[in-house]
Amino acid sequence: MRLLSLALRDFRGVRDRIVRFPALGTTVVVGDNEVGKSSLVEAFGLVFDLPDDSKSTRIRDIQPVGQDVGPEVTVELTLGNRELSYTKRWLKNRSTELAVVEADGRRRSWTGREAHNEAERLFRQHVDPVLWQTLMVSQGQSLVLPTPADAEPLITAVTAESGTPVDGASMPLVTAVEHEYLRYWTRGGRATGDFARSEKAVATAELTAAQALKAMEEVQQDIRRAERLTLDLQDVTGRLTDHLTSVEELRERKKATDEILLRRDSVRHRAETARARLENHTRTRVERERLLDEAERFAKIDAELAERRSDAETVARTAVESVHAAEAALAEVVELKDARRTDVQEAERQVSELMDRAELDRLLGQQAELVDVRARIAAAGTVLDRIKVDDALVVALESARAEVVEARAALAAGVPEVSVRRLGAEPVELSGTGLDGGAREVPSELGFDESAEVLVSGELVVGVPGQVEVTVRAGGEAATLRSRVDEAVRREKDLLKKAGVKDVAAARELLRKADTATAELHEARRTERTLTTGGDPGERIAVLTARLGVGADDDVEAEEGGGKQPAVEGVPGQMSLFEEFASPHDTLDFEDFEVPVSAPDDLAGAQRALEEARDALAEVERLLGDAEFAAAQARKAADEDRSEAQQARARSELAGERLAAAVEALEAARDLLDDDAVSAAEAEATGEVEAVLEELAAVQEQADAAGADQIAGELTDALAVAARLQGERDTLRDALRTTEGRLEQSGRDGLATRRDLAELELAGVRAEHDSLQRRAEAARRVHETLSRHRAEAQTKYSEPLQSRIESLGRSVYGPSFRVWLDDDLAVAERELDGARLPVEALSTGAQEQLAIITRLAISHLVSTGESSVPVIFDDALGWSDKARLRDMGALLGRAGDHGQIIILTCMPDRYEYVPKATFIKLDA
Amino acid sequence: MGVGVCWVARLSAGQVSVLTAMDDSITFLHSSDWQLGMMRRFLGPDGQARWGQARLDAVARIGEVAAATGAAFVVVTGDVFEHNQVERQTILRACEALKRIPVPVVLLPGNHDALEPGSLWTSAQWQAHQPEQVTVLTGTEPLEIAPGVEIVGAPWRSRRPLSDPAAPGYADLTPAEPGTTRILLAHGQLTSLSGGMSDVPTIDQAALEAAVADGRLQYVGLGDRHSTTRVTDRIWFSGTQEVTSPEEDAPGNVLKVTVGAGEIEVEPVRVGAWHMVDHRVELFDEESLTALEDWFAELPEKERTYVRLAGDGSLALPLLSRLDAMIDAQGEVFASVERWAKFWTVRPAPDAADLDALQLSGPARAAMEELRQALAGGDEGAGAALSLMHRLARDAG
């Protein structure tokens, strides 16, 4: 379709206007608001939609306000190869005219309704309504993205382009399949319509059938129960009948035996009376016997008790005597015990004294030894004091000796050694100074043939009186050597003097002695320490002597004086400890000291005496225990015997009273009836009883023979059984009646018919449901399969449109522009510079541009076919910036190369970049 | 009089002994298994109503046969009612039908309407409406129905008898008085005919034959088997008065029995009006389909006929559509036409030509092709889908 011209007269605000459009290329219709741009689009729609006699409000709306005129529209267009001129006037002077020029030049025209119908037919034939709606963009709809999937020409075009076979015949099939599917299923895949109802019907029928079946099952159970009850009832009834017969028999027998029982009762009664009387007499006799017996018994008891009383009193007296005797014996033993204890104490004292004495002896010995040791200590000390030599001194001595020898040797070497020998009788005198004869003194005169060898450090004069005198003088050094020798000798002498010895050997001897004395001293001191370990024996001795009390002070002093002698002997000047106790009585000999004892003076003997004394004491103590026990026993026995005697007396008195009472009672009874009469009465009653019992035995025998006693019991039992059976029968009968009543009701209700009907109904709805289900499943299968294949195909279809949109879009957005289409061939997502976004997320401007690009792409795709339609934009690109406007303008211009593009706008500057566009200005 | 049709041709054993001396003979009718109140699922509500009525009509026709043949009485050997708990309407209508039999009628309780607790026979509903000439055998005491004719019966007292259900009827009998005709009414399967499949005790045929042979019984009327069946000359199953299942051989008859001195004549008389038919077809092409159409066309009394079809084979989609349409249409004409699910294995066999004929292209064609292959692969569901799509495409095209 190409729109060639559009003429409006009296159409809304337009008085008269004609707009002509180039058949190819882009036309921009420019006009201010309200000038009637949109009326052009509206007029085109109305002229094909509404016949001239339409009363539609759409027609009313286009009549100019306040003018009673008929709006008129004339449109010139091509459809296929035809050219149409179509004029329509509504409301006033209504008319419709259609002129058609065929491709071959034939011209035809219609008027009125025919013209309308023919125009409509031709329009429908050539214009796909979906495509037309898609490409005609009314005011304010430019943002709406087209969803052209059902546009037949587009499908045809993309099909042709994609190489997928033409799907021309499938659209009605798709609709039919969809329709069939929706008969059974909702779009969500749930059962619906008759199918869903049928499911419910099945469920309902199943429920009903189940209930009816259950009711019938209950009936069957009731039948079985009733059968069982009937059998049971028959059984119980039979047993009951049999039983009742036996009950009757029992009744008869009972009647017969009742007479015997009556008689027996009478005899039994008499027997009881007789027996009662006998019991009475017997009681009297027994009572009398008791009274007699009691009197006798009490008399005997009384006698016995009186005797016992006198015995007891005798015993009590004896007991008192025994107590006295026992106490006397006890006193004796106590006395004896005291004596024995004194003995023991005496023995103990003796033993103790003897032991003290022994101890004292020992201590005195120890003391003597101590005195001796101390004397030795003192002696050793004295020796040591006297010896002045010690190790150092000896060493000094030895050194001094060595020096002397050394000095002498030096002298001998350094001075002339003169040997003088007397040869003749003439004395030879020797004198001089500084002479040394070595080991010998230089003699002042030589005997015959005596010689002297002298070292001369000074001057030696050898003279033979009167004959000769020779003087030898030593050299210069001799004096020095001489003085050294002298010095050494002097020092040695000093040392020897200091040591108090005459030579070194003596010093050494002395040193040895000192060592010996030291060892002795140490040994003595050790002994002293040992002896004094237990304290000073003197103190102990003092205590013991004091304790012994023998030897008064004199004795002790005498003893100590005796002991002192050896201690001080040989150590004069040594002050002894004992010297303080020295007394004039030191002549008293220790041997004279004696303890004046009467008992054996040896310890063992004394101890033996002690043991004996102790044994005697223990013996006496034992005797004392026995005596005490005997006394206690005697006292206790005496108490008991006294108490016994008292009791015996009390009992005796009581017995006397009882005896008196018994005798009194007996006498009273005898006054009433004497003893013989009592016995006679009892014998008579006994005879009576025996007679009656005999009679009773006879009757009982009869009763036993007839079984009289059992029959009553048997009858009772039998009646109980009968009652139970009757109860059982009644229960069964009731149960059976109830069950039969229920069954009767079931029969009245026709439960079997109901069940059959319910099952029939169920089978019916099930069959229907199965059938529906099969159809529903088939519909679903077809729908699913077809939808899947369509979706696959559409994916293929979408490729040409997609690539067209992308190629157009890249001229605006550059090479990174990409789009994705959904199943309806609508743009779903756009990618730019790698960012992929759903179209809803795009800016308004971008959405509008994408909508325009998509429409241009569609238009481009269908432009080659006869089905192409103009693309009409009523005011678009309102959201695009300058740069985009330029690119979009270029795009719109290029689109004009392939088809008719009509743009209606009040903003012509938006489209100033559209190349080769035809601008048509509308004036008010 | 709709009783004019009296044919015996279909009987398997239609022996008829010709009576030479009819002077002191007695004629009566023997029927059984009326099963009033029975429901048949396959008939549908309308068919069920009409068939139910037909069963009553057949009872009425027994009355007509009785009148026409001069029968002295009618015996019904068990299962008069389908169940002891049938609805009141069934009982009352049965009573009405019975009233139309002009001679005495003796009814025997069978397994369906046993004389058990809650039995229909002891119910107030029955007893209040029981027609005067109708007697229900509730015991085994002989009943003199006519001078010289004694009926003994073995009514079922429970649905689960413990022993031979016929035995109580004749066990204690001595041979009949000379000149007395004694008829035993019993219900149950014969050991020989049940094939040992019966789960209740069966009737001892040998004992029965012995009782007939030694003169204790002159005729034994049996019930339970719905097909008219001769056991011996004197032992018969009458069969049901109106067909109840396609499996029955010879239903829809009443037996006219004439017993004379030493002789007997038994003649089945048709009283039923319905037919139940099994038909097996093999469908593979148009010709076989046409043959089926012809078969349907030739059947008489279509509105009283139930057809159960067993089918095998495979059909092209258009033929399958046609078959469906045919069965659908015949279902309207006949009382009921049913595919016998157990033996119905007709498959769609789409060929490329069928699909080409639809001029489908693109996804539609692809979808159909997919379904066709699925069917070929044994997918039953695909067959139904394919048929549907075929129909939709054809209609849409």
- Distance separating alpha carbons of residues B336 and B327, to the nearest angstrom: 10
Q: Given pLDDT bands bounded at 50, 70 and 90, which one contains residue A602?
A: confident
Smallest Cβ distance to B392: which of A173, A230, A785?
A173
- Chain A from 152 to 171: CB within 8 A of any B CB: 159, 164-170
Smallest Cβ distance to B393: which of A159, A173, A750?
A173
> What is the pLDDT at residue A856?
86
Contacts of A170 in chain B (CB under 8 A): 360-364
Tell me what percent of chain A is helix, strand and coil, each rounded to the nearest 5.
Answer: 65, 15, 20
Q: Strand A72-79 vs strand A900-905: parallel, antiparallel, or unpaired?
A: unpaired
Give yes or no: residues B234 and B351 share one domain: no
Mean pLDDT on A251-257: 85
- CATH code of the domain containing B238: 3.60.21.10
- Residue B260 near residue B22, CB atoms below 8 Å: yes
> What is the pLDDT at residue A131?
79
Q: Output the average pLDDT for chain A.
A: 82
Query: Which is more confident, A599 or A563?
Result: A599
Domain boundary among B270, B286, B306: B270
Give yes or no: residues B226 and B185 share one domain: yes
Rg (CA), chain B: 26
Structure tokens at A391: 């190790």
> What is the pLDDT at residue A259?
83
- Is A753 an interface residue toward B (CB < 8 Å)? yes
Nearest to B277 by CA among B334, B317, B237, B325: B334
- Is A774 an interface residue toward B (CB < 8 Å)? yes
A551 pLDDT above the threshold of 60: no
Q: Given pLDDT bands bounded at 50, 70 and 90, which one contains residue A601?
A: low
> What is the pLDDT at residue B23?
56
Q: State which residue of chain B sits closest to A747, comparing Cα positions.
A: B85
Q: Contact B116/A226, CB-based, under 8 Å?
A: yes
Q: At what angle do helices A751-813 and A152-162 cross, to 10 degrees?
A: 70
pLDDT in tens, A520-545: 888 888 888 888 877 777 777 888 88
CB pairs under 8 A between A and B: 168
- Is A395 an interface residue toward B (CB < 8 Å)? no
Percent of chain B beyond pLDDT 70?
92
B155 pLDDT above the threshold of 90: yes
pLDDT in tens, B72-129: 999 999 999 999 999 999 999 999 999 999 999 999 999 999 998 888 999 888 999 9
Q: Contact B87/A789, CB-based, under 8 Å?
A: no
- Is B178 an interface residue toward A (CB < 8 Å)? no
Contacts of A757 in chain B (CB under 8 A): 39
Percent of chain A beyond pLDDT 70?
90
- Distance separating alpha carbons of residues B110 and B95, to the nearest angstrom: 18
Residue appearing with tokens 């490329």: B352
Q: Given pLDDT bands bounded at 50, 70 and 90, which one contains residue A416?
A: confident
What is the least distance, in Å, from the CA of B227 to any CA of chain A? Answer: 23
Q: What number of H helices and E strands is found in chain A?
A: 18, 19
Nearest to B105 by CA among B203, B249, B241, B274: B241
Q: Contact A782/B395, CB-based, under 8 Å?
A: no
- Is A749 an interface residue toward B (CB < 8 Å)? yes
- Distance separating alpha carbons of residues A706 and A609, to the nearest angstrom: 113
- Is A759 an interface residue toward B (CB < 8 Å)? yes
Long-range CB contacts (within 8 A, 24+) of A310-319: A311/A648, A312/A641, A312/A644, A312/A645, A312/A647, A312/A648, A312/A649, A313/A645, A313/A648, A313/A649, A315/A641, A315/A644, A315/A645, A316/A638, A316/A641, A316/A642, A316/A644, A316/A645, A318/A641, A319/A634, A319/A637, A319/A638, A319/A641, A319/A642
> What is the pLDDT at residue A54?
85
> What is the pLDDT at residue B241?
95
pLDDT in tens, A47-86: 888 888 888 888 888 888 888 888 999 999 998 888 999 9
Q: Contact A170/B364, CB-based, under 8 Å?
A: yes
Q: State which residue of chain B sits closest to A760, comparing Cα positions.
A: B41
- Residue A509 near residue A491, CB atoms below 8 Å: no
Query: Which is more confident, A171 or A87?
Result: A87
What is the least distance, in Å, from the CA of B340 to any CA of chain A? Answer: 13
Contacts of A742 in chain B (CB under 8 A): 118
Smallest Cβ distance to B363: which of A757, A774, A790?
A790
> What is the pLDDT at residue B196?
62
> What is the pLDDT at residue B151?
94
Domain that residue B28 falls in: 2-270
Contacts of A744 in chain B (CB under 8 A): 118, 123-124
What is the least distance, in Å, from the CA of A723 to any CA of chain B? Answer: 27
Give yes or no: residues B259 and B210 share one domain: yes
Q: Given pLDDT bands bounded at 50, 70 and 90, which one contains residue B304?
A: very high
- Distance separating alpha carbons of residues A353 and B331, to the nearest angstrom: 160
Nearest to A801 by CA among A145, A123, A174: A145
Mean pLDDT on A168-177: 72
Q: Given pLDDT bands bounded at 50, 70 and 90, which one contains residue A161?
A: low
What is the least distance, in Å, from the CA of A47 to any CA of chain B? Answer: 32
- Is B69 an interface residue toward A (CB < 8 Å)? no
Strand partners, B219: B183
Nearest to B69 by CA among B229, B220, B208, B265: B265
Q: Contact B397/A223, CB-based, under 8 Å?
A: no
Give yes or no: residues B207 and B171 share one domain: yes
Count of the separate structural domains present in chain B: 2
- Is B205 an interface residue toward A (CB < 8 Å)? no
- Is B163 an interface residue toward A (CB < 8 Å)? no
Query: Which is more confident, A565 or B386?
Result: B386
Structure tokens at A597: 């004892």
Give yes or no: residues B89 and B152 share one domain: yes
Give yes or no: residues B103 and B219 share one domain: yes
Give yes or no: residues B26 and B89 share one domain: yes
Q: What number of H helices and E strands is found in chain B?
A: 11, 15
Give yes or no: residues B139 and B207 share one domain: yes
Percent of chain A beyond pLDDT 90?
13
Structure tokens at A589: 């000999």
Positive or negative CA dihedral for A569, A572, A574, A576?
positive
Lowest mean per-residue pLDDT among A161-170, A434-443, B92-101, B207-216: A161-170
Residue appearing with tokens 């008219």: B228
- Chain A from 84 to 103: CB within 8 A of any B CB: none
Domain boundary among B270, B297, B323: B270
Domain boundaries, chain A: 391-499
Give yes or no: residues B263 and B337 share one domain: no
What is the least distance, in Å, from the CA of A764 to any CA of chain B? Answer: 7
pLDDT in tens, B334-384: 999 999 989 998 888 877 677 777 777 677 888 888 888 888 888 888 888
Mean pLDDT on A408-415: 76
pLDDT in tens, A780-823: 999 999 888 877 777 776 788 888 888 888 888 889 999 988 76
Domain boundary among B252, B270, B288: B270
Give yes or no: residues B105 and B35 share one domain: yes
Q: Which ipTM was obtained for this model?
A: 0.84
Nearest to A52 by CA among A99, A121, A113: A113
- Is B82 an interface residue toward A (CB < 8 Å)? yes
- Distance separating alpha carbons of residues B257 and B101, to the nearest angstrom: 16
Give yes or no: residues B295 and B239 share one domain: no
Lowest mean per-residue pLDDT among A141-155, A366-380, A383-397: A141-155
Give yes or no: residues B332 and B186 share one domain: no
What is the least distance, in Å, from the CA of A729 to any CA of chain B? Answer: 18
- Is B120 an interface residue toward A (CB < 8 Å)? yes
> What is the pLDDT at residue B15?
41
Q: What is the DSSP string of B231-262?
A: SSSSEEE--BSS---TT-SS-SEEEEEEEETT
B197 pLDDT above the threshold of 70: no
